[in-house]
Structure 1
């Protein structure tokens, strides 16, 4: 995994602040591959409660992480009751790493 402990802690803390302490966050995509280079930080946040403003909360999480880690591309995928699931959700769950 191509995230250091400071980055992991920052992501987990920001996720808990926005989605609650029960939220799980997974890293998936190219940053999971130690041999790869570059690439954005792809995250899937999983919550067990419905989210009132999913797009806004995902944008808030992206912003919070950027404010703490510096400018970089971050993509947040949300998995919550009532939201439509896509094949990318399954890929993130199967190939991602729980932070």
Structure 2
């Protein structure tokens, strides 16, 4: 995994602050592979409750985390009971690393 422990802690704090204590986050995509270089940060944020404004929440999370990671590109995929489940959710769950 190509994130430092400080970065992981910061990401988890931002997720809890904006999405709630019950939210979980997984890193997936190229950043899980130590032998690769570059790439954006792909995160799956799972919530146990419905989200009223998912696009707004995803944008806020991505923006705050991007600033924390010195403007690195961050993609946030949300999973919640009221949101459509897509193949990307399963890939992120199966291959992702729980932060």
Give the equivalent residue in structure 2 for 1:90. Answer: 90
In the other structure, the counterpart of 2:14 is: 14
- Number of aligned positions between the proteins: 99
- Matches for 1:1-99 after TM superposition, within 5 Å: 1-99=1-99
**How far has the Cα of 1:64 moved from its partner?**
1.0
Measure the CA separation in 1 of the matches of 2:46 and 2:14.
Answer: 14
Q: Bigger CA drift: 58-67 or 9-18?
A: 58-67
Name structure 2 gaps, 5 residues minimum. Answer: none
Q: Secondary structure at the match of 2:3?
A: coil
Deviations 1:23-53 (A, max 9, x none): 0000000000111111100000001000011
Q: How many Å apart are 1:67 and its aligned residue?
A: 2.3
Cα distance in 1 for residues equivalent to 2:83 and 2:3: 28
**C-alpha RMSD of the superposition:** 0.7
Unmatched segments (≥5 aa) in structure 1: none
Offset at residue 68 of structure 1 (A): 1.9
SS at match of 2:60: helix
